Chains A and B, each alone.
Chain A
Amino acid sequence: MIRSLRIIAANPLSLTGLILVLLVVLAAALAPWIAPFPTHNGAIVDFAYANQAPNARNWMGTDLVGRDIFSRILYAYQISLLLGVVVLAIATPIGTVVGLLAGYLGGWAEAVLMRIVDIFLSIPPLVLAIAVMGVLEPTLTNAMIAVTAMWWPWYARLVYSIARSEREEGYVLAAEVIGAPTAHIAFREILPNCLPAIITKMTLDMGFVIIIASSLSFLGLGVQPPTPDLGSMVAEGARYLPDSWWLTVFPGLAILLAVFGFNLLGDGLRDVLGVDE
């Protein structure tokens, strides 16, 4: 752990990623204390300051009803990170178990499970999430359900491909010869060898979940106002380009910054953990 941190810190790109991620996490965690206008995360109007360009009072300007955009971005990070953590916390175990079983057991389990995975993978991820959101009411919980539904198959495929090659290895044979139970071989022998790839993918995926979630809310199918969300902030502001550019540019850059951080960090982790692309 300490050694890995040291390797990451030695690479300027990975270090930048780590710092960006820490900044975003801190910004989200401390939003109520560091936001200049902590009440602006809700349905509040302040028309005296509506639609102001960035200035000394509002560093990133204000939206159409006078709310401070910088404050709202800090709160929007809370939603984005929460969504990412919940989606990955559910999708990763499901996908891992499916992939492990299909990859290690082979035969019928492999044929049936991987065909189901193929079905999910054959609908473009965003379209699947849009379709699920289409039938559910647009709320944060449902957005999590929709994104999780499209996310687990990718972990199943990743773990499956590793497990399939690992099952031919000597140590698996050795465990089989001494009569270890199937569950023991799958979860105690093969799973640890999948972990570096899973951890790397989870880091990179934090960024991608943020992208998908903001895409849903950009289309009006995600978190609903007045809850601040980066995607819906961009969508609202897009109608007022180019004059009120701050409405879209700052939330857009906020997405870029967070996702870039997770990508840089994940890229660095990949090198540290020795995972293939």
Chain B
Amino acid sequence: MLPVLRILLRRLGISAVVLVGVSMLIFAIARVIPGDPARIALGPSASAEQVTALRAEMHLDEPLVAQYGHFVSDVLRGDLGQSLYTNRPVTRDIAEFLPATLELVIFAGILMVALGLPLGILAARHRGRWPDHLIRVLTLLTVSAPSFVWAVILMLLFAFYLPLFPVAGRISDIYEIERVTGFLTVDTLLAGNFAAFADALHHLVLPAVALALSGIGQAARLTRANMVETYQKPYIEMAQAYGFFPSRIARSYAFKPSLIPSLTIIGLDFAAMLGNAFLVEAVFAWPGLSRYGVNVILRKDLNAIMGTVLIIALTFLIVNIIVDLLIAFLNPRIRHSTRAAS
């Protein structure tokens, strides 16, 4: 069997186990809620009969194991229940708000890789000299503040004092874009409306940078550390002895082995960004999962809380599988190995 395929199967197996665990964890968290979810749903004015009826409907009168069974079978059928906050199926709410969040996180992820890796390489190539020190201080600074602080600072500087970017929202009101994927940068292109595409991109810049800043710092620091380690390998010394240009050594010899450990961390940072998106969305009034998530939490909307966390965990697992496959694809020792890679 192809090694990459074997890794995919192995990862899918592990992910299935993890997903079962996540579902138990989420279920456990949801059951710690103080108070009766049925009573919370109906409000203080409902009669005792109504509450009893809803308890039966929500399976709250059954043993915990049976409740978990109902939860799992519902989830497997794609039914996350009804949101008490919006009175709509949770899946519909998530389908509405998730694309905006994913669009933001994906753009931030692109920024993280596109800026973090080159900065790390630059620092490693000038190790111990001023570019290295400068990058070290800058990257430490970017990881030293939560993304909502960066969001506020960027907004003040580049939306208010220098009005280069819009203050809030995903796109200007003048554009009416038919919703296909929910990703505005994709939908505007599908509609062939390039002005709207540019406008959506323009709205994305500040939130994406605010979200990406700490990831950029982490990616750069890690890439630098890995590159420095690679530079001490004998084969690099030999390339230097041959008199190859430093840029060629960096590009063709030192970069790829250093990239592989960085990718794992980039996967983890992507997860962190799914959480931090909550903070950035709040500052930039970005209509993503954040406002929905915070609202359902404040209202103790059980189904919606469980659904949101489950979807985020699922997204994260998928990203990690992709990262693992990418690593397998980049690493010839795994790509061509005949033994299962660990």
Contact = CB atoms under 8 A, between A and B. Distances in A.
Contacts of B160: 241-242
A126 B272 contact: yes
Interface stretch (B1-9, B146-154, B201-209, B324-332): B146-154
A259 interface: yes
Contact of A127 (B156, B274, B283): B274
Q: Is the interface of A mostly helix, strand, loop or mixed?
A: helix
Contacts of A248: 152, 156
B141 interface: yes
A163 B217 CA distance: 28
B286 interface: no
Given A135-B32, A264-B140, A127 B275 contact: yes
Contact of A211 (B146, B273, B297, B313): B146
Sorting the interface of chain A by its residue count into under 10, 10 to 19, 20 to 34 or 35 or more gives 35 or more
Given A124-B274, A260-B141, A119 B294 contact: no
Interface string A246-269: 001100110110011001100100
Interface in B55-89: none
A128 B133 CA distance: 35
Interface stretch (A63-71, A170-178, A217-225): A217-225
Nearest to A120: B25
Contacts of A256: 141, 144-145, 149
A131 B225 contact: no
Given A220-B298, A267-B140, A123 B153 contact: no
Nearest to B26: A131
Nearest to B228: A277
Contacts of B313: 122-124, 127
A134 B221 contact: no
A249 B14 CA distance: 44
B134 to A, nearest CB: 11
Contact of B22 (A123, A215, A220, A234): A123
Interface string B246-269: 000000000000000000000010
Contacts of A116: 21
A234 B316 contact: no
B264 to A, nearest CB: 12
Contacts of B272: 124-126
A57 interface: no
B34 interface: yes
B279 A119 contact: no
B10 interface: no
Interface residues of B, number: 56
A277 B25 CA distance: 31
Contacts of B54: none
Contacts of A245: 156
A125 B221 CA distance: 21
Given A126-B276, A130-B297, A234 B222 contact: no
Given A124-B316, A131-B26, A220-B298, A242 B156 contact: yes
A221 B149 contact: no
Given A124-B312, A127-B274, A249 B152 contact: yes
A133 interface: yes
Nearest to A276: B225
Nearest to A214: B146
B141 A277 contact: no
A13 B136 CA distance: 10
Nearest to B271: A124
Interface string A109-120: 000000110111
B156 A249 contact: yes
Contact of A135 (B22, B30, B316): B30
A137 B297 CA distance: 11
Nearest to A132: B29
Interface string B12-55: 00100110011001100110111000000000000000000000
B177 interface: no
A228 interface: no
B146 A207 contact: no
B166 interface: no
Given A118-B18, A137-B34, A123 B144 contact: no
Nearest to B224: A277
A255 B32 contact: no
B274 A207 contact: no
A105 interface: no
B149 A123 contact: no
Contact of A219 (B32, B156, B274, B294): B294
A5 interface: no
B114 to A, nearest CB: 21
A218 B282 contact: yes
Contacts of B34: 135, 137
Contact of A115 (B18, B278, B282): B18
Interface string A135-150: 1110000000000000
Given A119-B22, A135-B33, 8 more contacts: A126-B275, A135-B29, A135-B300, A218-B279, A219-B279, A238-B148, A241-B152, A259-B145
The 10 closest A-B pairs by CB, nearest first: A126-B275, A119-B21, A134-B297, A242-B160, A124-B275, A260-B144, A252-B149, A277-B225, A259-B144, A256-B145
Interface of B: 14, 17-18, 21-22, 25-26, 29-30, 32-34, 133, 136-137, 140-141, 143-146, 148-149, 152-153, 155-156, 160-161, 221-222, 225, 268, 271-276, 278-279, 282-283, 293-294, 296-298, 300, 305, 309, 312-313, 316-317, 320
7 contacts: A124-B316, A131-B26, A214-B146, A219-B294, A231-B148, A235-B148, A235-B282
